[in-house]
Chains A and B, each alone.
Chain A
């Protein structure tokens, strides 16, 4: 089972070989990156049946946990790894359609980011998580900076400062935990004797901080505006679609599996979950409100991501069966929809020459498919039936009302956010479909433009995925059940497989 580490090695190898190969051919970087992700998907699909039967723990470097680092390959993590690879391929293919010349370093950084995301999902060790998080942060910073003159670097710098601040604090938290317990393995910590509650609360929050930032939670989301304005649409899609998968799953892993009442964090768990719930509710309201009047379409999508991540945080904090199922479904549907929306936004921006949606009026009259794809993505995020977002939201609201107490605040926030995001998404959708006034007609040169298959193929695949999941949500039901069980019941699943050995 050591071969499972190939899941990490494919993108890592792509990253390392790219500079050398690019000396030979300009197209080497993109070809190798795609090839490595496809290899990752093929390997993952071949591995999946075996993992579904019994999850496996991959011990790296022959040091058994809790002293060594191990990866945990389960239906949940393998499924999300496959999702990450698919999203990476989709985004890279669509990036070919943009007119930018990408240098080798772009593909190097991209593969590093993918590797880091995959690593975050697979790893079962806190410090390893920190390392992957740093790699992801630095790659994101560099990729965002590749954007437009001025606004790219400016936005990414703010992101870097905040990210480094929070990861530094995470390191402090990890140090606290290590000095108090002597182990860094998540499974061990989930069964360790309880720490001093004050230490547990402090260390727990510190460890979660960078994940709050990555998930755009409230006091830490000041970077969204700058970063999304400066980033190219492909990178925007990566931040919102690829990184969020890994980060949300890590938040769930930490809050549900590592911190539960039988763990080292003991009673501080409820306090930490309350903090996450409150922050999540605030994020939902603030994210959607900020998106309401925003005119630059990438920033709208960024703030909308903040709102959706807030909902996922609320669901994780509620920590019941329905809630976790709901957020996993929401995560999958959000990823699909957000990437689709970024693809459409990027193409619309290119075809209309402007980043603002109020200057893209009538674009769907010339390119009806663009408008319809946007409507599909928007309605998925709004949680409208026939599209996949509906089921996730339904489960989340049901879980929140059932759990009562403070979760009702979360429900109110989510319902208000639904109204608000419905209004602004429909405003944008309508602007796309608006019949242009007779006076201002489309500029003649843009009638020559069109979008190619590099945009169309991935977009149609994503749209089909969200509709299929919306109409037949039972398709991923087995995956959801096993993933929920693994997150919520560490003693029988997760911890059992890691601490008692697992395969060599």
Chain B
């Protein structure tokens, strides 16, 4: 038993035990979570370089196998690192006033997280997937009615995904004869000439599973509900890490199914032989359009939001759309771009959500128009949010720029210009909601209610600072991530790209990100120097400039009411109302649920009524007798 299995089992056990042993002293449960995150980070470090290490767990009825694949390790390492930073935050966040009892479940979830990335056969993957599903449901709904509505929505979609996964796994096993993931995908590749219909069926099932988990396509609505209601520190984990499981699944099983003939991934088999659009397989091209729709739609919905967590949840969905769009191009560059953006998103979205959690921790408010001026009281949270949105918008020197640049380069490489239009729209329109968050919460008038709040506690600040540093470093020196990613995708047979520590060679041009990063840094430093050297300044109250010298208190308007933040984008809301009303998958799902409930009520009532029940049984018997006599 190697470190992979021992770590997973021990962490799971620790989580289960801490729920019983520390139920009176809940803070210790959070210490256990922190210890588990540290342990997993250590495991990640020690497993580096040991590619192809396998391990198995004999459970009597079957043997679960695990492997340290390069791509799996990358996801595991990043998720462990970000989990560690979040757990540091949580240690401070869960004080007497804010503590929730979700730490043991979260610990077990960390173990499931490892299981998903290390699984080498479908059954182990399924077990880890299901474990992740129910623990996250209980965490999201954590005992509150409103949270439960969000949680059960998420859980129902998750169950649909699991049902599709079950069907897919056994169809794959029936077609290829094996449960091993890598071997079965290879075997499927050989079937393109004989059974393309079956392969499309499997691809659709797997797509449903992974899209449901990653909130792409018609499943875009669950993060907004779930993120808003989940415990604040968990929202960071949900948005940063959990939503990426679908992306990992796509890279693991769906993308390799479409390997082009001649590439390393298709070695030994004929490879994908079907239709292609500009070199992209047709199925993946359609997925790309779905992903582009997701990105655009989520952006439109994000701009309409007033609740900061819901807004950021839609932003996550939009970024997932980007990631899947990059994946769908099906080249080494696209896959590298997708993985890089995944990790970048983990970092900057994690930072954004932690910053929001800090603000909520100090103020108790979540709606943006009730906040304002937080930059004056909570500078570190402000900086974390600022750098986070710069990264999210894809502006240098933060890490978001490099990965978004790569996504667009990937689209260029296959001349997918029509797909670029929604992608550009989503990317630039994101400025609207990202800046809104910054303005409404951190800039503007500080409400007198919050004039005396303290800044973020030290541990929370440390967590945010770590993420900020990561954002900057990865922005200027992307090679830290991209070089391992490059080796990983080459290892998996997807091909490779040209990267060095500070530069990337794209498909139309190359870019030297360190230079870009230093240019921005020196510009900022230069402006700051000018500011210091400049003429004397006098401090003016924000309200004085804002009101052009008038005194609004004369006519009963307080500074608070002057903070223009409520329904910031009302014109946009009015503009998109008809669109949102017509295209509503949410209403479609709600209709399904409603009709199902009606059907359930009538069946229950009908089978409970005396006469129909007996009549039905009697008529069934008569039918059988007739059948028996006739046949």
Contacts and interface: CB of A to CB of B under 8 A. Distances in A.
Given A201-B628, A289-B603, A423-B155, A433 B143 contact: yes
A393 to B, nearest CB: 8
A477 B130 contact: no
A225 B608 contact: yes
A448 interface: no
Interface of B: 23, 58-61, 123, 126-127, 130-131, 133-134, 137, 141, 143-145, 148, 151-152, 155-156, 159-160, 162-164, 166-167, 170-171, 173-174, 596-597, 599-601, 603-604, 607-610, 612-614, 616-621, 624-625, 627-629, 631
Contacts of A222: 607-610, 612-614, 616-617
Nearest to A303: B604
A141 to B, nearest CB: 15
Contacts of B625: 202, 206
Given A202-B625, A222-B612, A222-B617, 4 more contacts: A166-B621, A303-B604, A386-B127, A415-B163
A391 interface: yes
A385 B167 CA distance: 16
A293 interface: yes
A221 B617 CA distance: 8
18 contacts: A162-B613, A206-B628, A213-B617, A221-B607, A222-B608, A223-B613, A225-B607, A289-B600, A291-B604, A365-B143, A368-B23, A411-B167, A415-B164, A427-B148, A434-B144, A434-B145, A434-B148, A474-B60
Contacts of B58: 474
A16 interface: no
A404 B298 CA distance: 40
B126 A385 contact: yes
Instruction: Name A's interface SS.
Output: helix
A293 B159 contact: no
A357 interface: no
Contact of A219 (B131, B610, B616): B616
Interface centre among A209, A223, A365, A401 (most CB of B within 10 A): A401
Given A162-B617, A402-B174, A433-B143, A385 B127 contact: yes
A224 B607 contact: yes
B617 A220 contact: yes
Given A219-B617, A226-B608, A423 B152 contact: yes
How many residues of A sit at the interface, in one of the four size bands?
Answer: 35 or more
B224 to A, nearest CB: 20
Nearest to B19: A372
A171 to B, nearest CB: 13
B290 to A, nearest CB: 22
Contacts of A420: 596
A472 B613 CA distance: 42
Contacts of A473: 59-61
Given A222-B607, A294-B604, A430-B141, A398 B152 contact: no
Interface in A374-410: 379, 384-386, 390-391, 394, 397-398, 401-402
Interface string A292-314: 11100001000100000000000
A205 B60 CA distance: 38
A10 to B, nearest CB: 32
Given A209-B621, A223-B613, A385-B126, A398 B156 contact: no
B421 to A, nearest CB: 37
A290 B600 contact: yes
A457 interface: no
A225 B59 CA distance: 39
A418 B163 contact: yes
Nearest to B128: A385
Contacts of B159: 418-419, 422-423
Interface string A62-78: 00000000000000000
Nearest to A386: B131
Given A223-B613, A224-B607, A475 B60 contact: yes
Contact of A394 (B123, B131, B143): B123
A416 B600 CA distance: 14
A289 B599 contact: yes
Contacts of A292: 596-597, 600
A169 interface: yes
Contacts of A169: 621
A174 to B, nearest CB: 15
Most buried by B among A209, A219, A386: A219
Contacts of B631: 197-198, 201, 271
Nearest to B158: A422
A158 B600 contact: no
Interface in A205-233: 205-206, 209, 213, 219-226
